[in-house]
């Protein structure tokens, strides 16, 4: 599939070499060096710190990588101050309003919105890879029925690497493309089967005539005893939710996939590592944690007490679905998420008291100095749980849904890294603070 040529390649080369005239001067122990400053298309400039070690023998220190750019990327741009999110330059609000998830996948993978022929070809390719090898089904039987579906996802998706290992050649574009298509196509099937396994219901095979998200909903909610009837409003709502979750620059799970893949490891196993990282409550697990928090708060009158707990350093309680490493403004995805939440509840005629708790919690928190002074706003996870529960999913499936949607981001970032001439195996250094050199002490002298 010829997806990018000519001016796009030139633009990409120009983007890569956007060194500026500016430099950062560093003086250390009487020696002064200049560090080159690199410009991107948008966002903060970066300082190339390689000379720090080469010339001055210094490392940089940045726990949690709050101020560290790990790579050049053309995929996603976030402006945390302005609350901006764009995939390949397109604002998330426009993609959610006018596009669909599969089109967004094409955009993230190949750099441009597809024309109808490209879209149809891509859709056909994905459709033909949605089934799992029959032996894959046996992996589910090894789990307890009450296993957390994220644990099942890690195990089963990782097992894909045993079915697609010898056939993988990540050194060529065709090999990378078929691996990308397979991972994108099979993730919803693996996720739906994890849900069915927990319910004790039979697995439902994908159907080739259904669109990606509709196929996923049918695999989750249909049963062999009756026909499944799609509710287009709910399918569209979930499709928008998938678009919102598709990619998000160098977040923890994406960085995990990049670091794992930097050694040349099997991409299916590397995406499984991304699923593991996403599971944490500080990351993708926050949607499950946020709904549980709203259920624990239970009513508007209990909000003040929980806000006090969130502010108390001695209390581990945090407002789940609030705050973000990058967004110091409203997460643009949360705005769209809130709108989708209202649409779904209205369509289903559900009066969910937790929505009232969530909106009142947001209102009070955003007027509270503690949250305002720390630029803590609702993030994508604050309203997603209420919506996903209304769509019929149990809380244990919320992060699984995040993983389904984020697979395209992990895969697109994996491909960008593999194809980046600058990338090499990731190997951060450290500030050693352990014991100085000391000699071995024989057992009878300890």
Among 4, 301, 302, 374, binds ligand SDX (CB under 6 A): 374
322 near ligand SDX, judged by CB under 6 A: yes
CA 430 to chain centre: 27
**Smallest separation, CB 101 to ligand SDX (Å):** 15
Piece in contact with ligand SDX (CB under 6 A), picked from 32-40, 119-127, 215-223, 313-321: 313-321
376 near ligand SDX, judged by CB under 6 A: yes
Would you say 251 or 407 has its CB closer to ligand SDX? 251
283 near ligand SDX, judged by CB under 6 A: yes
Would you say 73 or 379 has its CB closer to ligand SDX? 379
Among 310, 334, 336, 358, binds ligand SDX (CB under 6 A): 310
**Smallest separation, CB 27 to ligand SDX (Å):** 30
Pairing mode, if any, of strands 31-38 and 19-28? antiparallel
381 near ligand SDX, judged by CB under 6 A: yes
251 near ligand SDX, judged by CB under 6 A: yes
88 near ligand SDX, judged by CB under 6 A: no
What are the strands, taking DSSP E only, across 325-390? none
Q: Evaluate whether 321 touches 379 at the Cβ level (below 8 Å).
A: yes
388 three-state secondary structure: helix
Where are the alpha helices (H) located in 200-285, listed in sequence order? 212-221, 232-245, 252-261, 267-278
The DSSP symbol for 328 reads S
381 a catalytic residue: yes
Nearest to 320 by CA among 354, 277, 273: 354
Would you say 310 or 355 has its CB closer to ligand SDX? 310
Q: Which of 369, 381, 420, 444 is catalytic?
A: 381
257 near ligand SDX, judged by CB under 6 A: no
| Encoded tokens for 214 | 């509709």
Residue whose tokens read 């990588």: 65
Cα distance between the two ends of the chain? 68
| Interatomic CA distance for residues 380 and 278, integer angstroms | 14
**Smallest separation, CB 289 to ligand SDX (Å):** 7
Piece in contact with ligand SDX (CB under 6 A), picked from 68-76, 184-192, 280-288, 412-420: 280-288
Piece in contact with ligand SDX (CB under 6 A), picked from 23-31, 143-151, 324-332, 436-444: 324-332
Among 148, 258, 324, 389, binds ligand SDX (CB under 6 A): 324
318 near ligand SDX, judged by CB under 6 A: yes
In three-state form (DSSP H/G/I as H, E/B as E, the rest C), the secondary structure along 16-62 is HCCEEEEEEEEEECCEEEEEEEECCCCCCCEECCHHHHHHHCCCCCC
Nearest to 204 by CA among 191, 278, 120: 191
Nearest to 143 by CA among 199, 215, 198: 198
Nearest to 163 by CA among 141, 205, 131, 193: 131
Nearest to 392 by CA among 222, 209, 200, 246: 222
Q: Which of 324, 352, 420, 439 is catalytic?
A: 324
Pairing mode, if any, of strands 31-38 and 90-91? unpaired
303 near ligand SDX, judged by CB under 6 A: no
| Interatomic CA distance for residues 50 and 345, integer angstroms | 53
**Smallest separation, CB 226 to ligand SDX (Å):** 37
Among 323, 384, 397, 411, binds ligand SDX (CB under 6 A): 323
Among 185, 246, 319, 391, binds ligand SDX (CB under 6 A): 319
CB atoms within 10 A of CB 354: 20
Q: Evaluate whether 37 touches 20 at the Cβ level (below 8 Å).
A: yes
107 near ligand SDX, judged by CB under 6 A: no
In the sheet with 31-38, reading across from the earlier edge strand, the strands are 19-28, 31-38, 46-47
**Smallest separation, CB 239 to ligand SDX (Å):** 17
Would you say 27 or 373 has its CB closer to ligand SDX? 373
Among 164, 207, 325, 342, binds ligand SDX (CB under 6 A): 325
Rounded alpha-carbon distances, angstroms, from residue 99 to 76, 206, 243, 347, 356: 16, 23, 9, 21, 30
Would you say 52 or 380 has its CB closer to ligand SDX? 380
320 near ligand SDX, judged by CB under 6 A: yes
106 near ligand SDX, judged by CB under 6 A: no
Would you say 318 or 339 has its CB closer to ligand SDX? 318
**How many chain residues touch ligand SDX (CB under 6 A)?**
21
Piece in contact with ligand SDX (CB under 6 A), picked from 101-109, 149-157, 165-173, 279-287: 279-287
67 near ligand SDX, judged by CB under 6 A: no
Q: Which residues contact 392 (CB under 8 A, 6 or more apart)?
A: 220, 221
* Binding stretches for ligand SDX (CB under 6 A): 248, 251, 282-284, 286, 310, 318-326, 374, 376, 379-381
Any idea which residues carry the catalytic annotation? 324, 381
């Amino acid at each position: 599939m010829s997806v990018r040529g000519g001016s796009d390649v030139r633009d990409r080369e120009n983007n890569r070499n956007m060194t500026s005239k500016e430099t950062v001067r560093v003086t250390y122990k009487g020696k002064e060096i200049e560090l080159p400053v690199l410009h991107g298309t948008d966002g903060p400039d970066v300082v190339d710190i390689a000379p720090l070690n080469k010339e001055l023998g210094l490392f940089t220190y940045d726990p949690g990588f709050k101020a560290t750019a790990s790579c050049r990327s053309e995929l996603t741009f976030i402006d945390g101050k302005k609350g901006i999110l764009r995939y390949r330059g397109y604002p998330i609000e426009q993609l959610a309003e006018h596009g669909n998830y599969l089109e967004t996948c094409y955009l993230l993978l190949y750099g441009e919105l597809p024309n109808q022929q490209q879209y149809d070809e891509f859709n056909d390719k994905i459709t033909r890879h949605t089934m799992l090898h029959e032996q894959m089904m046996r992996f589910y039987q090894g789990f307890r029925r009450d296993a957390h579906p994220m644990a099942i996802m890690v195990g089963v998706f990782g097992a894909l690497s045993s079915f697609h290992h010898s056939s993988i050649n990540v050194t060529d574009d065709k090999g990378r493309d078929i691996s990308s298509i397979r991972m994108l196509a099979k993730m919803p099937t693996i996720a739906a089967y994890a849900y069915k396994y927990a319910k004790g219901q039979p697995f439902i095979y994908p159907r080739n005539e259904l669109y990606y998200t509709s196929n996923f909903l049918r695999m989750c909610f249909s049963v062999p005893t009756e026909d499944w009837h799609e509710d287009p409003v709910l399918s569209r709502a979930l499709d928008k939710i998938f678009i919102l979750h598709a990619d998000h620059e160098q977040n923890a799970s994406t960085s995990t996939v990049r670091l794992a893949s930097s050694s040349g490891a099997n991409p299916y196993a590397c995406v499984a590592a991304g699923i593991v990282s996403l599971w944490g409550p500080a990351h993708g697990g926050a949607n499950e944690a946020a709904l549980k928090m709203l259920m624990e708060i239970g009513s508007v009158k209990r909000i003040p007490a929980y806000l006090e707990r969130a502010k108390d350093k001695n209390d581990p309680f945090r407002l789940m679905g609030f705050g973000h490493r990058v967004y110091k403004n409203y997460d643009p995805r949360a705005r769209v998420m809130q709108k989708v939440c209202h649409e779904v509840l209205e369509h289903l005629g559900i009066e969910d008291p937790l929505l009232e708790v969530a909106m009142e919690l947001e209102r009070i928190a955003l007027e509270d100095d503690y949250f305002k002074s720390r630029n803590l706003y609702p993030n994508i996870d604050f309203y997603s749980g209420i919506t996903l529960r209304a769509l019929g999913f149990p809380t244990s499936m919320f992060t699984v849904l995040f993983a389904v949607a984020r697979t395209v981001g992990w895969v697109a970032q994996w491909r960008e890294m593999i194809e980046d001439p600058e990338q090499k195996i990731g190997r951060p250094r450290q500030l050693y603070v352990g014991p100085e050199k000391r000699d071995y002490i024989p057992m009878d002298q300890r």
